[in-house]
Amino acid sequence: MVDAFADEVFRGNPAAVVLLDEERSDGWRQSVAAEMNLSETAFVDVRGDDPIPLRWFTPVAEVDLCGHATLAAAHILGGERRFATRSGVLTAKGTARGIELDFPLDSLEPIEPPGFLAGALPGVTIMDAARGRDDFLVRVASADEVRGVRPDFAAFVRGSSRGVIVTAPGDQGADFASRCFYPAYGIDEDPVTGSAHCALGAYWAPVLGKSLLVGKQLSARGGTVEVAVSGARALLTGRAVTVLSGRLGC
């Protein structure tokens, strides 16, 4: 288990990393992810050639893209790595600032806020809204408003998107702040969401007129993601800490 987008234990987003030395069924992988009961469990087929096969499972479903569990896998494997995933080939390499992930930048479409958000985010005044590949993104006025969001998870519409990102201009040295909610995937609030920063980078880079940004996710655990927007790619940088290691008894 690795705490990703953190430089100390019990911060950032915990991910399980399972190194596979034999084939395992999708059902087995899903059962392990449910047993781990973390936002994501990464399954890395260490028998694979370059690029290394990598898949991610929440406690209830497989997902197409996950940043923090990729960071965790790269942290465990070390060196520069290329991963074969449902979102194409993703690369990870060490830098002076941490581990840099090369991910696809999201493509955002401005929208009118869908009706369910009024019930899902009670008391929130939405200033702007967009739809990305996976998530709705809504902008509010301030980082304090992001901190104060108290979602009604029963009001989230299942199947309409992966989840909802709430964001605002940052404070305390950050360019932007965010929180991310994914109840449809068994995760009411994700502590630090790497993949969401592909959308956050796409949104804030033109708004702020800069291509290198620092985002802070304001969950209870909290975490920092550095985002560099480069063409159609988002370069996400963060640190990771190993919490425990062992062997599955199944």
Which distant-in-sequence residues (6+ apart) come within 8 Å of 228 by Cβ? 201, 211, 212, 213, 234, 235, 237
Cross-strand partners of 130:
110, 137
Per the structure block, which two tokens stand in for 159? 């199947």
Per the structure block, which two tokens stand in for 198? 């592909």
| Residue from 8, 23, 35, 40 carrying the catalytic annotation | 40
Burial environment of residue 10 by CB neighbours within 10 A (0 to 12, 13 to 18, 19 or more):
exposed
For residues 174 and 216, the answer to whether their CB atoms sit within 8 Å is: yes
Tell me how far apart the alpha carbons of residues 18 and 114 are, in angstroms, rounded to a whole number: 38
For residues 177 and 225, the answer to whether their CB atoms sit within 8 Å is: no
Q: Are strands 187-190 and 223-230 parallel, antiparallel or unpaired?
A: unpaired
Residue 62 annotated to the active site? no
Instruction: Indicate which residues carry an active-site annotation.
Output: 40
